Amino acid sequence: MTLQAFLQVLASGLLMGLLYALIAVGLSLIFGLMDVVNFAHGEFLMVAMYATFGLWLATSLDPVVLMPAVTALMFVLGALAYFGVVRFAMRARTNVGMVQIFATFGLAVLIQGLAQFFFSPDYRSIPKSWLGGKTLDIAGVFLPLPQVFGGLISLLAFAGLYLLMDRTDFGKALEATREDQGAVALVGIDRNRVFALGWGLGVALVGLAGVVLAIFYYIHPHVGGPFALIAYVVVALGGFGSVFGALAAGLIVGVIEALAATVLPPAMKSIAVYLLYLGVVFVRPSGLFGRL
Amino acid sequence: MIISRRAALIGAATTGVLPVSKLLAQGTQEVVIGAIYPMSGSNAQVGVDARHALETAAEIINTANAIDLPTAKAAGLPGLGGAKVRLVFADHQADPQKGRAEAERLITQDKVCSIVGAFHSSVSNTVSVACERYAVPYMCADSSSPSLHRRNLKFFFRPAAHDETFSKGMFDFLDAQRAAGKKIETLALFYEDTIFGTDSSNTQRKLAQERGYKVTADIKYRANSPSLTAEVQQLKTANADVLLPSSYTTDAILLVKTMGELGYKPKNIVAQAAGFSEKAVFDAVGDKLDGLISRASFSLDMAAKRPSISYVNDKFKARAGRDLNDNTSRQFMALLILADAINRAKSLEGEKIRAALAATNIPGSETIMPWAKVHFGPDGQNPDADPVLIQYLGGKWVTVAPKDVAVAVAKWPMNP
Amino acid sequence: MTHRQLQLVLLSGVVIALAILPRVITDVYMLNVLVLTLMYAALSQSWNILGGYCGQISLGHALYFGVGAYATSVFYASFGITPWLGALAGGVISMLLALGLGYPCFRLKGHYFSIATIVIAEIGLLLVHNWDAVGGALGIQWPIGPDSWVTLQFARDKAPYVYLALGLFVITWLVTYWIEDSRWGFWWRAVKDNPEAAESLGVEVFRSKMAAAALSAFFTALGGGFYAAFVSYIDPESVMTFRFSLLFALPAVLGGIGTLWGPLVGAAVLIPLTEITRSYMGGSGNGLDLIIYGALIMIISLAKPEGILSLFHRNAKPDARP
């Protein structure tokens, strides 16, 4: 492989990794806050892509312009998912983890069915947009603009998340709730409100990723699956609940996946990512940056 | 519901005994045919389109149409006293076990006299075995794995080509281009890790060796991958004279987008249809595919020679909102060929329909396909279903090979 | 009569009722649903040994199912060895695999463990997908032959498969029943409730987990062997995907995790629901079947978090046994 080809694969891997991180961080946030693994995460990504597509059809505004609207919509959807589903799942007295897994799994199937019902199973895409199909050529290494944009959004989101967690009252409430769910009630924090905000935020983040993906990816009711699997691995690799871990792990997974496809038969490239996860947790059982 | 099922039961039970006119007098005769397709899951779009294609076919069978296609002229099937065709659809979700369960349900509960299916070759596999065991003909409309007709099944019929014939058509075209002085030395194979991709690439690899082409990239990728960047980078490095992709809609879109993003313009693409015959792909990335060549079971521009094609296409388009393509044309034609056999069998019994199917002899001109003829070998395969090659030029498909049906000379290379 | 004797009487009743069923129901489709229900009950019972009793939530049991299905198919299709032996061989291979994988994996806790099981099963899927000696993506077709209890091939008759699946369920039930009252069962519940405390009480936590994994994998592979014989054709996508791992856990969770009857009750609700919504609503292609199926899973798991079984005895908590 030439140096140029290597740099190309590396750059593509990094850009994809930033996107993986953005998809995963919402999952990680929700987990860190309330120990819930959300099996409908890929479906929220899919809904955000359809929302972008639908709004684009209706308004013919560029996806970039639609981003705030879609993100706000996803925030509301996340909060609703908490109030409508997760709140009840957390009431379970026994095997809470499994109940959550299967309640959100049921939600995932439901959302897929709804998507097929309302949008038909056709493969959609946004053929023309400001960024779509444009690419930066830096000395023979091509950086597609939609992915570059996605990478920037991802970095901004992580920076924003850092400020939010570190500097605001909401962040402190999140932190407190995460530390000790029983004690927060005593200091007058409304647990339900914090959780709902957490879900809203987590789903809004995957909504951002959905808008970016809608620019350069196809859209259909099952599009979320492969991304969700990667997101679970990213979250666990980085350490459940660790925001920085999700970023680091996303980048690592993106690069390893891209490089593996040049060494292994491409059909088996994911094996490298999976082995990496196993290798890391066998040495560090709580992921790269997780705490147990 | 209960009444009609009982009526159908009586109808089925008495066909062997009563003359057709008696049945007609009862007014209960209908021909129930099962259709098993993926109606949910990643390939649900194929199932929904198949539904439109088969319903178009049923409409043409059930009404009188002045076109030259089997069973089109009369309303219903004259051989069964004008009996109408009714379709029952079932969803197999790409799962061979579910496909078989649905086949058994359609045969035993809905009393279907034959079954059409199933897109996925893995599902066609189990469905055809179930049909064999119940002595009900299975019309394999669009599953293209060559292994399917090599299992000595008596009730399996495939009017369309399989992957070996398809690939042969593609290589015949390459040979002709080479003979015409075009430079074709290297090929790049790019295929998904499914039955379709495996069958397609195995044949292509073999043909490349036999006919003296060098395969410089042989890339099997995981279907529905989130990213194909590294794979496309390898294609770009190889920069073969012809890229031969075997991909479905999702990966076809991603492949073309990724090639664009990495600044790779393949010199030529000759595709194994699949995704490259789907409207969704051209809606998404059609601007990058001008000059793409695909093998096809169907070509709309043959309508100039056969008026039935535009007639059928208009009817299909009214239902589905898109033109007939490689899959939907095969599904449409399969039901007509089946109805023709049932009409000649003058019976709903599996054995008799099977015998009529085996005796099928429809000239190509009475199909909407480029086939020479429809007849079945002892293995149930139609040996004369040669594909054509069509090129996507200026937003339209043009037939470019073989010579006797071509309406234009291929633009070659696609990207100079 | 003690509580435990009562359970055995109950089992006898259920078995007799289910054994008579194929004589009463003649509809092939309904028998097919019955076969699947019993098969998933047995597989969920096997999953329950590790997931329910020992508390190690595996979402990768599709691996053992696939190994069982592939071992049985390769032995039969390539060497003509009866599926009875093939499935046993698959069981033993799976057991060894589970022990080998358990060694590193049981250091992991909670979701890290669950994700590891998913990932290992995915690796298995990809390897089989790309392994030409076992058919790769093309899968393995069983030769079509006459009906026989030796080859487990029955062309139209579903009753034999009902009995086989019922037999598999009874075996897994009896093993679970025996475990409940054995030293292993006591250890496993201790490991599930509080591994640190169990350790200090002298329970060999690691060995407990390994034993549960081996047993669970063995019976899951037998189920895979049965499925291969039942369908007579397998390919990687139809036996090794993540969907199966979920389907093994789901009945136990819906019925009552870590209980003797939970998997059967859960499967009896879930499998007919899945099959019938697809068969009678799926043909339209509008997704309504998915909407109903998804909503019902959600509602059941939210309304009865302790499992459907908790409807029957009010105070029963799954781990209430001493």
CATH number of domain containing B198: 3.40.50.2300
CB spacing of C235 vs B51 below 8 angstroms: no
C227: chain B residues, CB-CB within 8 Å: 97
Is A35 part of a structural domain of the chain?
yes
Q: Return the minimum-mean-pLDDT range out of A185-189, A198-202, C303-307.
A: A185-189
Q: DSSP assignment of B274-328, as one string?
A: GGGG-HHHHHHHGGG-TT-EEEES--GGGGGT-HHHHHHHHHHHHHHSS---HHH
Q: Looking at the predicted structure, is the pLDDT value of residue A182 above 80?
A: no
Return the SS3 of B167: helix
Give the pLDDT mean for C48-71.
94
pLDDT for B17 equals 41
User: What value does the mean pLDDT of chain B take?
Assistant: 91
ipTM over 0.90: yes
User: In chain B, pLDDT over 90 holds for what percent of residues?
Assistant: 85
The better pLDDT of the pair C284, B143 is held by: B143
The better pLDDT of the pair B16, B57 is held by: B57
pLDDT band at C321 (very low <50, low <70, confident <90, very high): very low
Is A182 part of a structural domain of the chain?
yes
User: Chain B: nearest CA to A70, how far in angstroms?
Assistant: 22
pLDDT band at C284 (very low <50, low <70, confident <90, very high): confident
Q: Looking at the predicted structure, is the pLDDT value of residue B259 above 90?
A: yes
Tokens representing A222 are: 């099952």
In this complex, is the C-beta atom of A88 within 8 Å of any C-beta atom belonging to chain C?
A: yes
Q: Are residues B349 and B256 in the same domain?
A: no
Return the SS3 of B215: strand
Is B416 part of a structural domain of the chain?
no
Q: Are residues B27 and B154 in the same domain?
A: yes
Residue C175 burial (CB count, 10 A): 17
User: Chain B: nearest CA to C201, how far in angstroms?
Assistant: 48
Is B410 part of a structural domain of the chain?
no
pLDDT for A236 equals 94
A240: chain C residues, CB-CB within 8 Å: 111-112
Nearest to C298 among A103, A233, A278 (CB): A103
Q: Are strands A141-144 and A135-138 parallel, antiparallel or unpaired?
A: antiparallel
Q: Are residues B46 and B155 in the same domain?
A: yes
In this complex, is the C-beta atom of C122 within 8 Å of any C-beta atom belonging to chain B?
A: no
Distance CA B251, CA A218 (A): 9
Is B213 part of a structural domain of the chain?
yes
B257: chain A residues, CB-CB within 8 Å: 133, 216
Q: Which residues form the domain of A200?
A: 10-121+141-223
CB spacing of C285 vs A121 below 8 angstroms: yes
In this complex, is the C-beta atom of B395 within 8 Å of any C-beta atom belonging to chain A?
A: no
CA B118 vs CA B141, B158, C90, C118: distances in Å: 7, 12, 31, 30
B135: chain C residues, CB-CB within 8 Å: none
Contact between B35 and B54 under an 8 Å Cβ cutoff? The reply is: yes
CA C210 vs CA A90, B210, B253, C50, C123: distances in Å: 30, 54, 46, 9, 21
Distance CA C115, CA A41 (A): 15
User: Residue B27 gets which letter from DSSP?
Assistant: T
pLDDT band at B20 (very low <50, low <70, confident <90, very high): very low
CA C196 vs CA A254, A258, B7, C190, C203: distances in Å: 37, 41, 69, 9, 10
CB spacing of C285 vs B89 below 8 angstroms: yes
* Residue A6 CA, distance from chain mean position: 27
- Name the B residues in 379-398 with CB < 8 Å from any C CB: none
Is B55 part of a structural domain of the chain?
yes
A112: chain C residues, CB-CB within 8 Å: 287, 290, 294
Q: Are residues B157 and B170 in the same domain?
A: no
Residue burial B230-257, b: 16+ Cβ < 10 Å; e: rest: bbbbbbbbbebbbbbbbbbbbbbbbbbb
pLDDT for B353 equals 97
pLDDT for B264 equals 94
Best mutation target among B227, B234, B262, B289 (most A Cβ atoms within 10 Å) is B227
Work out how many domains chain A is built from and give that number. 1
pLDDT band at B23 (very low <50, low <70, confident <90, very high): very low
Best mutation target among B98, B106, B115, B147 (most C Cβ atoms within 10 Å) is B98
pLDDT for B12 equals 41
Nearest to B39 among C232, C235, C282 (CB): C282
CB spacing of C294 vs A31 below 8 angstroms: no
Q: Which residues form the domain of B180?
A: 164-296+388-401
User: In chain A, pLDDT over 90 holds for what percent of residues?
Assistant: 66
Q: Are residues B261 and B174 in the same domain?
A: yes
In this complex, is the C-beta atom of C312 within 8 Å of any C-beta atom belonging to chain B?
A: no
Q: Return the minimum-mean-pLDDT range out of A81-95, A164-178, B257-271.
A: A164-178
Give the pLDDT mean for A76-90.
91
Is A151 part of a structural domain of the chain?
yes
pLDDT for A184 equals 59
Task: Please give the single-letter amino acid code of residue B119.
Answer: F
Q: Looking at the predicted structure, is the pLDDT value of residue B10 above 90?
A: no
pLDDT for A2 equals 85
Distance CA B12, CA B21 (A): 15
pLDDT for A55 equals 96
Distance CA C222, CA C158 (A): 19
Number of helices (H), then strands (E), belonging to chain A: the values are 12, 2
Distance CA C172, CA C185 (A): 14
Give the pLDDT mean for B183-204.
95
Q: Looking at the predicted structure, is the pLDDT value of residue A181 above 70?
A: no
Work out how many domains chain B is built from and give that number. 2
Nearest to B195 among C138, C227, C275 (CB): C138
Give the pLDDT mean for A240-261.
94
Is B330 part of a structural domain of the chain?
yes
Report angle CA B99, C135, C169 to the nearest 5 degrees.
55
User: In chain C, pLDDT over 70 holds for what percent of residues?
Assistant: 97
pLDDT for A97 equals 75
Is B324 part of a structural domain of the chain?
yes
- Name the residue in chain A with its Cα closest to that of B259: A133
Q: Are residues B156 and B169 in the same domain?
A: no
pLDDT for B339 equals 97
Q: Are strands A141-144 and C140-141 parallel, antiparallel or unpaired?
A: unpaired
Task: Name every residue whose Cβ is closer than 8 Å to that of residue B288 and which is 6 or more positions away in sequence.
Answer: A133, B256, B259, B260
Q: DSSP assignment of A101-165, as one string?
A: HHHHHHHHHHHHHHHHHHH-S--B-----SSTT-EEEETTEEEEHHHHHHHHHHHHHHHHHHHHH
Is B406 part of a structural domain of the chain?
no
Q: Are residues B189 and B285 in the same domain?
A: yes
Say what the pTM is. Answer: 0.93
Nearest to B156 by CA among B118, B194, B101: B118
pLDDT for C304 equals 80
pLDDT digits (tens, 9 = 90+) for C140-199: 999 988 999 999 999 889 999 999 999 999 999 999 999 988 888 888 888 888 888 888
Report how many Cβ contacts below 8 Å link chain A to chain C: 147
Residue burial A25-63, b: 16+ Cβ < 10 Å; e: rest: bbbbbbbbbbbbbbbbbbbbbbbbbbbbbbbbeeeeebb
pLDDT band at A180 (very low <50, low <70, confident <90, very high): low
pLDDT for A183 equals 60
Best mutation target among A3, A123, A149 (most B Cβ atoms within 10 Å) is A123
User: Chain A: nearest CA to C221, how far in angstroms?
Assistant: 23
Q: Looking at the predicted structure, is the pLDDT value of residue B244 above 70?
A: yes
Task: Name every residue whose Cβ is closer than 8 Å to that of residue A177 and which is 6 or more positions away in sequence.
Answer: A33, A34, A184, A189, A191, A194, A195, A198
User: What value does the mean pLDDT of chain A take?
Assistant: 90
B237: chain A residues, CB-CB within 8 Å: 1-2, 5
The better pLDDT of the pair A129, A33 is held by: A129
Q: Looking at the predicted structure, is the pLDDT value of residue C231 above 60?
A: yes
Dihedral sign for Cα A260, A264, A269, A275, please: negative
Give the pLDDT mean for B396-401.
91
Q: Are residues B12 and B134 in the same domain?
A: yes
Tokens representing A240 are: 């459940």
Contact between A22 and A156 under an 8 Å Cβ cutoff? The reply is: no
pLDDT for C316 equals 44
